[in-house]
Structure 1
């Protein structure tokens, strides 16, 4: 196995928490009604297109045309995005900052809308510490498509086989491996520490 010289972090659910249910538990208190809304209106497939670069204005207009009775809750998805990202994972952030402080080359690769990532980077300053970030919304490519991994490699001058990717989604981990990277599935900070040590990256 090639020695790891580059470490790439995902952001959502690896470094910062994300859960749309937080504001919508207030906006749609009934659990079954809320589940229906996420399954049929503001779906994951709808939201990922903002990560691919579609504007919120266009996204809202499309849904409101289909579901006019839900217009206010559709607009609330972006309006209350701040509440969906309430805190960082301090233990994961500590690992990333330790890697940076000890001289490792750290970048980030994320499926994120351009404007919401800009907001997150204002709120969470540690997101500005890595050497850089590839944002899906900026380049209109998303994980796990091969193109976004190749873009990141080219943009930051990395060697795929010497690059470790850390992501909470198995399909994104598999996408990185298909692009020739090394990759681990993030579940929690302690498991990440063990994975890093197993791969020869010491944190202490």
Structure 2
């Protein structure tokens, strides 16, 4: 089956355009790497973080975790108290791709991100390229997140996007499969070089 012509490109943010990693903070706080990895995988887990991305308040999420792990109160409170230190900067190769797509004027550009509504303003202030998108759908604001279909449909409806003509770029395979299920074309992001290669092969760049 021939794919529809691409008119819209949708970017994930964390891991695609922005280098975000809790290790950037916690390597300053926990000297032993094995101990740090254990803390991040058993206390401030990705599942816990995703609940804030999905709209739970930082205060509620932090209090819940402190109640479960009172011996780690200070380390838990640093997760959002020092959250900007988890930002490693832009993934420049991908920003370069975005720059070229924007300059071409051929596509509508949007972002679909799992991100806490309370921390997203920090990213907006720090990264100028976030202001290049025609729209950004933020999970914490919508009280839903990838990979749930309704989150993708919120974007389709709000910006009048035809799913089959939209290309979605994300580093999480779970989110890629969900995008395919709602009819989008996809690129599973692994590196800026790989993204550039795939977009060139598809005639997008």
Counterpart-to-counterpart distance in 2, 1:32 and 1:93: 33
Equivalences for 1:31-42 in 2 at 5 Å? 31-42=33-44
- Find the partner of 1:173 among 176, 180, 194: 176
Deviation at 1:83, TM superposition (A): 1.1
- Between the two proteins, the alignment pairs up a number of residues equal to 202
Counterpart-to-counterpart distance in 1, 2:198 and 2:109: 16
Deviation at 1:41, TM superposition (A): 1.1
Is 1:63 paired with 2:65?
A: yes
Counterpart-to-counterpart distance in 2, 1:181 and 1:198: 18
* CA displacement 1:99-123 (0-9 Å, x = unmatched): 1121121000000001211110100
Deviation at 1:194, TM superposition (A): 1.6
Aligned to 2:93: 91
Instruction: State TM-score, norm by structure 2.
Output: 0.96
Counterpart-to-counterpart distance in 2, 1:95 and 1:60: 37
Aligned to 2:4: 2
Aligned to 1:197: 200
**What SS does structure 1 have at the residue aligned with 2:18?**
coil
- Find the partner of 1:155 among 158, 173, 177: 158
Question: Are the equivalent residues in 1 in contact too, given 2:11–2:110 (CA < 8 A)?
Answer: yes
- Find the partner of 1:79 among 78, 81, 85: 81
Equivalences for 1:84-123 in 2 at 5 Å? 84-103=86-105, 104-123=107-126
Counterpart-to-counterpart distance in 2, 1:122 and 1:192: 26
Instruction: State TM-score, norm by structure 1.
Output: 0.96
Aligned to 1:134: 137
* CA displacement 1:46-69 (0-9 Å, x = unmatched): 000000011110011101111111
* Range 139-148 or range 193-202, more displaced: 193-202
**What SS does structure 2 have at the residue aligned with 1:112?**
coil
Deviation at 1:97, TM superposition (A): 1.8
Gaps in structure 2 of 5+ consecutive residues = none
- Find the partner of 2:50 among 39, 48, 51: 48
Deviation at 1:200, TM superposition (A): 2.1
Deviation at 1:73, TM superposition (A): 0.4
Considering only aligned residues, what root-mean-square deviation do their CA atoms show, in Å?
A: 0.9
Deviation at 1:35, TM superposition (A): 1.9
